[in-house]
Structure 1
Amino acid sequence: MRVVIVEDQDDWRNTVADHLSQLGYEVKDMSTLAELDTLMQAGAPDILILDANLPDGNGLNHVARLRAAAPQMGIMMLTGRLRSQDRVHGLSAGADHYLTKPVKLAELVATLSALSRRLRLVEAAPPEDIAGWSYDPPARRLCSPAGRMIDVTEGESRLLSALVNSSHMPVSRNALIIALGESPDAYDPHRLDTMIHRLRLKLKGHGTPELQLRNVYGVGYMCITQVKILSRSAPTESEL
């Protein structure tokens, strides 16, 4: 499993890189977005560990572009920001996990291991790749392959953004709850299941193929249908 770490704190980056190498990961580390861009031109890693605040830019602003360039790549965000809206921005743009600094090494390794298992799950059972659906997040509107328009609620839109931006990759329950702007510690997960159920019902009967949201046991949910994003709402500097 190839892992790239982009972090400008040299001591911490070297500690993480050495530890992951000892665990059997193939690790490359760097400190800038420019170095990451150069590496991505040669090919994406399996998992990217990306700091949000780097000398040459804000990692959060690059997540959507990275996800579009490498849909199958796992993305873990690291940041000192505590605001829930920052988590929503990162996860909605396509990040798989969002860890707040200071991060304990054991927590980072556990998150990385879970993401690695999810990636292997996807490789073992390739999802159905169906084109024809499109989604406009600002308008909160889906368009089916038959041209039928489906309006969704604010909550459904947040869930769809998280799932579609991580298309063909499972999204954890906690990540979806955070995308809703809620705290996983205080939010009843059954409410999430109910929202997904209602969203599935709303998506039925709009022609073939259907937009499918699959339950991934022990993890969360995954969108197995290819959906074209018509527009993205990037976070502004004031929001960051």
Structure 2
Amino acid sequence: MLEDEPVLRQELEEFLAELGYAPLCVSTLQAFHQQFDPGRHRLAVIDLGLPDGSGLDLIRHLRTAADPVGIIVFSARNTSADTIQGLEIGADHYLGKGVDLDMLAATLGALARRLQLGTQAAPPDAAAWVLDLGPRVLHAPGAPTVPLSQQDAVVLACLMRKDGENISRREIVEALGADYLAYDQRRLDSQMLRLRRRVASFSGIALPVKTVRNSGYCFYAEARVRG
């Protein structure tokens, strides 16, 4: 990620890490060129107004070099003319900085799915959904794998170890290491919403988790947990 504003850069770094990415965040074109590795870095979120040049020049360079990287412009320059210019130069998507971060997450997921990033063969015993706790990935049946944050992996492990059963909110909250009586239940609801969006954006299929009214959640498909 290339963003020169320190507060926003930190916010985006924490947001992307929470989604399960391992973001490399830099503030200048020079730092980007020094640290970018096309063999490892397959998605790039690029600001345009930078202290040592224009992000448009970087996008043009990446496309000229034929680096197989998905590019999302994330810029305060968000007029129609700016958007058209960015897309014509080679960006895959163009988002204004006022957009909700969930839109950025969905756009990254859709781009990763289109580029088939993270597509791996599921473990041999995967009849359906498989959670690998070591690398923190979720194998969806017949679809790309989904990288997970630590919290998402904990929640899914709690649900998938007892697939087909109703798991109470208390059990999930305590698995997260929190005090159930002091825990804001809206946090769990928000996390489940983000998790569903993340799985759908990466894999293209819905996470088989249903909300059990006044109780908790249930993972209703066949599941395996490894690690």
**Under a length normalisation based on structure 1, what TM-score does the superposition of the two structures give?**
0.46
**Under a length normalisation based on structure 2, what TM-score does the superposition of the two structures give?**
0.48
Rg (Cα) greater in structure: 2
